[in-house]
A and B are shown apart, each in its own frame.
Chain A
Amino acid sequence: MAVKKDLSIEYLGVKCENPFFLSSSPVGSNYEMVAKAFETGWGGVFFKTVGIFVADECSPRFDQNDKNGLPWVGFKNMEQISDKPTEVNFENIYKLKRDYPDKIMVSSIMGSTEEEWRELAKMSEQAEADLIECNFSCPQMTSHAMGSDVGTNLELVEKYSRAVAESTKLPVIAKMTPNITIMEPAAIAAIKGGAKGVSAINTVKSITSLDYENLTGMPVVNGVSSISGYSGTAVKPIGLRFIANLAQCKELEGVPLSGIGGIETWNDALDYILVGARNVQVTTSVMQYGYRIVEDMISGLSYFMDERGFDSVDELVGLALPNLVPAEELNRDFKIIPKIDLDKCVGCGRCYVSCYDAAHQAIDWDDKKRRPTINDNCVGCHLCLNVCPVKDCILPGEIEWKEGRTPTEIKVKHYYD
């Protein structure tokens, strides 16, 4: 039978139908959009950030970049917070919660003064939102009293978190910026101020590519451009890293985390959950494909849990954390020599090129037969395995112990997608 699992999970005291939420952005900025998202299966929505400040946007404001013709590797936006009147936004939040009581509405807010933060918190509570998220992280605000300039200033993070937490009984989440060397101090400051949860990441400051017509970055606004936020697949590794760091931080123990950045498939979501997120948020892939992608997130995660015998998402949260260790703790006594399956090999020579030019000249190339063989220079870096275009052609082979090291039982990965 079609596998339908219970994907519900408790997050900050709120029961969520599933962990898949829209992150605060244009994908959840009015009543009709959010209603459609709920109907499609999203568990909740972080509504487009509301401020007292109403944004005045530029045009155009988006760009995406590709790698070898694969578009949307990453996405850049120059948007600020909501461009709709403050009251209209809260009215929409209120109506959505009223009409979809089982779905979760998070009010994302951003003030420019303590007073504004307090006011927005109260309005969120009046609008009957379930949770409040403080946007300390938009990297392209026109005012330096707002956005990621706040998120990188520990004093302001704590002060504004406190202002919000004091003004409402709703649980408060601090949304962090990745434009910072380490995120833990800012997260700790938010918790000190009274925030109950942390979400990350907002967008990464970026220039996607240059425009040679106007000699500026993309997108071009009247001949010029700005550095602004990058998101999508390319930022997922960065997002995962920050969530794992927060999850492993002693001072933040027990703080529920929400993972954001480059989530498109159930695997992406699961990755965040395995490194400690109880909730995940999505924007860019919805901008590319629409709300419907949640259907495959729900179905894919259900099948995964069914296959591995998990009964609730809760059991998955942070499962990979014990296996993420500092570099100094890695066993460096052995090397795994790759094994080339010459029946699968198509003779492209890419392994040879990469190994010669970028590794250890450990592949010999038979230019008549067009087939590679690994020689004694191999250090087991697996560059060849990563570059080979044929599935399962190069896989981990024999384990060799470095001179003078004592062999022990080790675990090897066998399956590569």
Chain B
Amino acid sequence: MSKVIKKRYTEEADYGFNLRTAREEARRCLLCLDPPCSKGCPAGTDPGSFIRSIRLNNIKGAAETIRSNNILGGSCARVCPYDRLCEEACSRTGIDKPIQIGRLQRFAIEQEKAFKMKVLEAPKKKKPFKVACVGAGPASLACAAKLALEGYQVTIYEEKEKAGGVLTYGITPSRLPEHVVAHDIKTVKDLGVKFVFGTKVGRDVDLNDMDYDAIFIGAGLWGDKLPDIPGVDKEGVWTAVEFLKTARVEKTKFKPGENVIVIGGGNVAIDCAVTAKLLGAKNVRIVYRRSIEEAPADMKEFKYALKLGVSITTEMAPAEVLGQDRVEAMAFTSRDGVSTAKFKADDVVFAIGQKPEDMTAIAAVKVNEKGEIKATKSGKTNLAKVFAAGDVVSGGKTVVEAVAEGKEAAESIIAYLAKKEGVK
């Protein structure tokens, strides 16, 4: 019999290091020249430096490196797909296996908190420019932090009651505990960034009427996306975003049905399946229309779901949601067209990608056919004073890339405002 693990919804999926074990791991690091790991990090968190610091017992210096390079260093340490970023690049792989970079990063950031370090400080003297950021997700937080560090006055508008975007309303707390996100966000708040919650830009406020010198849009992908098949309007059918948000808000009060089917093959699908399982669903099945090999989810995450007892069915595409008013079952057809299947279901979660809401309600930005904002790599849109980055531009990538892009957009905003500085 396979041994499945049982955990609570908020229980952490992974263990951390202590000083001794962290230094043991750092001792494996080869201290490479021009470290490939550092090049592998989109946000420039510089693992090559911080691991060296841990190895040389300069733990606070390690925390300083992480926090100064990546404002969401704590969250990234938990959720980055390292196996295709820094750890994939690690030279140690040529000997045995990569350095556990994410876990070392987690350790250093935990020390930052334990020692009550304040790595970043915004200048006392503020620049005479105001910037508004739409959304309090990773892209906006990174952009706002960078601007605040340069002395700009930044206000973030967030539709929801809390900051963090997907970090707070998406990823399961077992992978990303709330206190980790809260600590990262506090470092942004401590820089003097203002937050206005419960305010949807374009619905509740119009930034175009207000005296902001620049606007940054980091609104992510919060539009519904359901497939065009019969029965999707039935009760018990969820989009991944709604399902995860409900779980994050209601926590263990949220009770999914006994049989939950999650449709999709990305990390989001796995988060939904894991969430359902941890919240007490008995039979949780991920159904994906392609093969495991083609699935965008990380192997580490698949394994975790399997360990919890989630089953995975591949090469089956959803055909119809069955039932009266509420779902009772889900019908599928196989990729090769040979077979069909029907699985019992009390809840069906579609994790088949997200799309943006209507971004033109925020500003007259150009969008593509999927509704994603058209912006350059450095975050410039068709409007001189409007910038955008993160999922709303990329169509959905990773937290660390959203941080990198938010930081880069901040550079563009700084350059744009510098030109105006002479005028003011």
The interface of chain A, by Cβ under 8 A from chain B, is 1-3, 70, 264-267, 289, 292-293, 295-297, 299-300, 303, 307, 391-392, 417
Contacts and interface: CB of A to CB of B under 8 A. Distances in A.
Q: Is the interface of B mostly helix, strand, loop or mixed?
A: loop
Given A2-B68, A70-B27, A265-B56, A296 B118 contact: no
A70 B23 CA distance: 13
Contact of B56 (A296, A303, A392): A296
B19 A266 contact: no
A266 B57 CA distance: 8
A266 B56 contact: yes
A306 to B, nearest CB: 9
Contact of A391 (B21, B52, B56, B115): B21
A300 B58 CA distance: 5
Given A1-B120, A265-B56, A299-B53, A417 B61 contact: no
Contacts of A295: 61
Given A1-B120, A70-B27, A293-B56, A300 B21 contact: no
Nearest to B119: A2
B64 interface: yes
B43 to A, nearest CB: 18
A295 B56 CA distance: 10
Nearest to A304: B60
Given A1-B121, A70-B27, A303-B60, A296 B52 contact: yes
A264 B60 contact: no
B20 interface: yes
Interface string B199-238: 0000000000000000000000000000000000000000
23 contacts: A1-B118, A1-B119, A1-B120, A2-B64, A2-B119, A264-B56, A265-B57, A266-B58, A267-B57, A293-B52, A296-B52, A296-B57, A296-B58, A296-B61, A297-B56, A299-B61, A299-B64, A300-B58, A303-B58, A303-B61, A391-B18, A392-B18, A417-B20
Contacts of B120: 1
Contacts of B331: none
Contacts of A417: 19-20
A292 B121 contact: no
B362 to A, nearest CB: 35
B31 interface: yes
B60 A300 contact: yes
A358 B274 CA distance: 50
A300 B56 contact: yes
Nearest to A390: B20
Contacts of A264: 56
A120 B105 CA distance: 51
Nearest to B57: A265
Contacts of B52: 292-293, 296
Nearest to B21: A391
Contacts of B53: 296, 299-300
Nearest to B52: A296
Contacts of A293: 52, 56
B120 to A, nearest CB: 7
Given A2-B119, A292-B52, A300 B18 contact: no
Contacts of A1: 118-121
A300 B20 contact: no
A297 B56 CA distance: 8
**Across the A-B interface, the 7 shortest Cβ-Cβ residue pairs:** A300-B58, A299-B61, A296-B58, A296-B56, A303-B60, A1-B121, A391-B20
Contacts of B115: 307
A97 B120 CA distance: 36
A392 B19 CA distance: 11
B18 to A, nearest CB: 5
Contacts of A297: 56, 58
A289 B61 contact: no
Interface string B36-67: 00000000000000001100111011001000
B119 A265 contact: no
Interface string B16-31: 0011110000010001
A20 to B, nearest CB: 13
Contacts of B119: 1-2
B61 A300 contact: yes
A267 B60 CA distance: 13
A2 B120 CA distance: 7
Interface in B107-140: 115, 118-121
Contacts of B21: 391
A265 B53 CA distance: 9
Given A299-B53, A303-B60, 15 more contacts: A1-B118, A2-B68, A3-B64, A266-B57, A266-B58, A267-B57, A296-B61, A297-B58, A299-B60, A299-B61, A299-B64, A300-B53, A300-B57, A307-B115, A391-B20
Interface in B70-121: 115, 118-121
A3 B63 CA distance: 12
Given A391-B19, A417-B19, A299 B31 contact: no
Contact of B31 (A266, A289, A300, A391): A289
A412 B61 CA distance: 29
Nearest to A389: B20
A171 B135 CA distance: 65
A178 to B, nearest CB: 25
B33 to A, nearest CB: 8
A299 B18 contact: no
Contacts of A296: 52-53, 56-58, 61
B221 to A, nearest CB: 35
A203 to B, nearest CB: 23
A18 to B, nearest CB: 15
Nearest to A417: B19
Nearest to A285: B56
A289 B30 CA distance: 10
B348 to A, nearest CB: 43
Give the interface centre of B58, B115, B118 by most chain A CB atoms within 10 Å. Answer: B58
A186 B107 CA distance: 48
A149 B58 CA distance: 39
A1 B121 CA distance: 5
Contacts of B56: 264-266, 293, 296-297, 300
A295 B118 CA distance: 20
A303 B118 CA distance: 12
Contacts of B64: 2-3, 299
Nearest to B115: A307
Nearest to B17: A391
A335 B364 CA distance: 78
Nearest to B20: A391
A300 B61 CA distance: 6
Contacts of B31: 289
Give the interface centre of A266, A293, A303, A417 by most chain B CB atoms within 10 Å. Answer: A303
Contacts of A2: 64, 68, 119
A289 B31 CA distance: 8
A299 B19 contact: no
A71 to B, nearest CB: 10
Contacts of B58: 265-266, 296-297, 299-300, 303
A417 B64 CA distance: 21
A266 B61 CA distance: 11
A296 B60 CA distance: 10
Nearest to A292: B52
Contacts of A292: 52
B146 to A, nearest CB: 16
A296 B58 CA distance: 6
Contacts of A392: 18
B34 to A, nearest CB: 11
